[in-house]
């Protein structure tokens, strides 16, 4: 139900541009997905996301299953109808919650039992129910259930998580035909390159529609992140989409693309925006700082986002200090515009043969998270 085609390749790296066809539209890659965990990118309407060029958003199957619940979403015609979003959606399966909610869950070889923080009820996820949930949601890109472990993790712990994730992937793959779109296998292995490459090879034998690399940006060093990516990528099919989950800062995206990655998601641009931090080509701006109290300039004079087109740093600082919702909305629009524009620049650089120059530009800007 999905089709991926490579369009351009970089002569100096593993970067490529591509075109992913999904039931709800085409995604030009490399691409970044804003995070809408509960079916909403905080503060923004679907129209706002479309206006800034969002191609696809990420929601979380576990959290939507918990609330509002599948019955509600089913009755209104699926997640796209429920959200009023006409473009592609990818849903995470709940594998990250295996790690983040470790104090409220019990895991075994059959699945995971979570104790809900909402009502104390116990809810059971298995590889099969995760596929059923995402089939009901009607998403374009669905993820298998996996076991994500935090770093640092002992090799033995990481190896056990790989084995469990592989068995769950084997149980999930035959159910892909029930989905509206494609199913992604997830490579695990923590910071151990040999585990990453071996797991990638075993997943490829199951012939998933696309592949993700999970369990990164969870406490490991940047060097370990790149080692894990570089171990997995060569084992994945060239004709399938490659997605690194939970990454990252703008410079991280450039570097990951150079290593052959096609798709990203991260809460950084939206969470930083709500905390009053903006990303610009010159570095970060922490809008609460007194230096911006009378600053008439936009966040970025060359930015085309709605915030920069109309509002000053002084006004945005005022909104932040007063706790006005509009401040978070405008900062979110700006940060997502910056990320999506960065992806557009990356795609252009690959197609025009200038990615090396763009990588050098980001390296000079103070990677990974800029300066203020």
Query: Where in the sequence numbering do the catalytic residues fall?
Result: 92, 265
Contacting residues for 156 by C-beta, under 8 A, at least 6 apart: none
Question: Which tokens belong to 70?
Answer: 């599948």
The Cβ-side half-sphere exposure at 156, using a 13 Å CA radius, reads: 0
Taken in order 25, 28, 30, 34, the sign of the CA dihedral is: negative
Contacting residues for 305 by C-beta, under 8 A, at least 6 apart: 52, 333, 334, 337, 338
Inter-residue contact 34 to 343 (CB < 8 Å): no
Inter-residue contact 87 to 55 (CB < 8 Å): yes
The Cβ-side half-sphere exposure at 146, using a 13 Å CA radius, reads: 30
Inter-residue contact 219 to 185 (CB < 8 Å): no
Phi and psi at 143, nearest 5°, equal: -115, 145
Taken in order 62, 67, 73, 74, the sign of the CA dihedral is: positive
Inter-residue contact 276 to 287 (CB < 8 Å): yes
């Amino acid at each position: 139900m999905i089709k991926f085609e490579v369009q351009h390749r970089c002569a100096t790296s593993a970067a490529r541009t591509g075109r992913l066809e999904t039931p709800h539209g085409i995604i030009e890659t490399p691409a970044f997905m804003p995070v809408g965990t509960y079916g909403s990118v905080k503060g923004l309407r679907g129209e706002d996301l479309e206006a800034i060029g969002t191609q696809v958003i990420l929601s979380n199957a576990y959290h939507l299953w918990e609330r509002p619940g599948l019955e509600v979403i089913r009755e209104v015609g699926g997640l796209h109808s429920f959200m009023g979003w006409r473009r592609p959606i990818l849903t995470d399966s709940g594998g990250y919650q295996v790690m983040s909610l470790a104090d409220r869950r019990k895991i075994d070889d059959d699945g995971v039992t979570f104790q809900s923080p909402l009502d104390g009820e116990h809810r059971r996820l298995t590889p099969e129910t995760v596929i059923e949930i995402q089939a009901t949601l009607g998403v374009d890109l669905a993820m298998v259930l996996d076991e994500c472990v935090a770093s640092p993790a002992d090799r033995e712990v990481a190896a056990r998580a790989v084995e469990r994730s592989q068995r769950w992937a084997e149980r999930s793959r035959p159910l892909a035909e029930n989905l509206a779109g494609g199913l992604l296998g997830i490579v695990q292995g923590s910071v151990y390159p040999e585990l990453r490459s071996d797991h990638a090879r075993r997943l490829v034998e199951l012939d998933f529609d696309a592949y993700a690399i999970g369990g990164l940006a969870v406490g490991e060093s940047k060097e370990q992140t790149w080692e894990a990516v570089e171990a997995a990528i060569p084992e994945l099919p060239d004709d399938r989409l490659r997605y690194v989950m939970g990454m990252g800062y703008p410079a991280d995206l450039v570097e990951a693309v150079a290593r052959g990655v096609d798709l990203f998601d991260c809460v950084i641009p939206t969470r930083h925006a709500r905390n009053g931090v903006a990303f610009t080509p010159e570095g970060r701006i922490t809008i609460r700082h007194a230096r911006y109290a009378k600053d008439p300039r936009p966040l970025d004079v060359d930015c085309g986002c709605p915030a920069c087109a109309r509002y000053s740093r002084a006004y945005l600082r005022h909104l932040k200090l007063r706790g006005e919702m509009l401040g978070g909305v405008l900062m979110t629009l700006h940060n997502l515009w910056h990320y999506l524009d960065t992806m557009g620049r990356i795609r252009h650089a690959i197609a025009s043969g200038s990615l090396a120059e763009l990588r050098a530009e980001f390296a000079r800007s103070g990677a990974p998270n800029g300066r203020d």
